[in-house]
Amino acid sequence: MLCEQCGERPATVHFTEIVQGQKSEYHLCEACAREKGQAAYEAMIGAFSVNQLLSGLLHLDPTATPRSDTPAPRCESCGLTFQQFAQVGRFGCPDCYQAFSRELGTLLKRVQSSDQHTGKIPRRRGGVIGARRELNRLRQEMHMRVVEERFEDAAQLRDRIRYLEQQIESQA
């Protein structure tokens, strides 16, 4: 079998990728495989990015297609345009997430399971965020107790909520 990239040398590197049920096979010669080093490496250790899939999704998204009558969206901090982002599938800086939030639309929800982070919060810089997340959790729990008519438990939760609210206010 010849290398599917250059069509000249014999294909000696073979790998298969199955991402969410989509199977792709690659048959490359050593030289082209080295060029595709990153792809091969990702096949070996687990990809950190799926940017082809990503730009595919962006082109499908009607809200993401730039219109000619409005200036192309651009991130003020790093100068990256949305067009450039769609091509490379990479942001230029952390501010791009805010700058392109409208164009991104539901993209995050489609490539991820939701658009809301529920994981780790930075220990030093995330104190208030952690307290706010705890507050939301306590409020939900309090409503549950009220529905269950467990009013004593609900009152205890209400006191903790008040305490946390004061804490957050004093830090703000």
Partner 1 sequence: MSLSDFLSNATSKWLRDDGPDSDIVISSRVRIARNLTNRAFPMLATERDRQTLLDEVAAAVKHAGIQELGSFELLKMGDLTDVEKQVLVEKHLISPALLESPGGAVILRNDEEISVMVNEEDHLRLQCLLPGYQLDGAYQMVDRLDDALEETLDFSFDETKGYLTACPTNVGTGMRASVMMHLPALVLTGQIGRILSAVTHVGLAVRGIYGEGTDALGNLFQISNQITLGQSEEEIIGNLHGVARQIVDHERGARQYLLRDGKEQIEDRVCRSFGILAYARQIDSKEAMQRLSDVRLGIDLGIIKGVSANILKELMVATQPGFLQKYYGHEMSPAMRDVKRASLMRERLRMNDGE
| Site residues for partner 1 per CB under 8 A | 12-21, 23, 25, 30, 37-38, 40-51, 54, 77-80, 88-94, 97, 104, 107-108, 111-126, 129, 132
Name which of 77 and 156 has its Cβ closer to partner 1. Answer: 77
Contact 95, 75 (CB under 8 A): yes
**Shortest distance in whole angstroms from residue 171 CB to partner 1:** 15
**Shortest distance in whole angstroms from residue 156 CB to partner 1:** 26
User: What residues contact residue 76 under an 8 Å CB cut-off, 6+ apart?
Assistant: 95, 99
Q: Going along 29-133, which residue ranges are E strands?
A: none
> Per DSSP, what are the bridge partners of residue 2?
10
Contact 95, 77 (CB under 8 A): yes
Name which of 115 and 148 has its Cβ closer to partner 1. Answer: 115
**Shortest distance in whole angstroms from residue 23 CB to partner 1:** 6
Name which of 123 and 147 has its Cβ closer to partner 1. Answer: 123
**Shortest distance in whole angstroms from residue 24 CB to partner 1:** 10
What's the burial of 8, exposed, middle or buried (CB within 10 Å: 0-12/13-18/19+)? exposed
Could you give the dihedral angle defined by the CA atoms of residues 89, 92, 96 and 101, in that order, rounded to the nearest 10 degrees?
Answer: -10
Name which of 67 and 124 has its Cβ closer to partner 1. Answer: 124
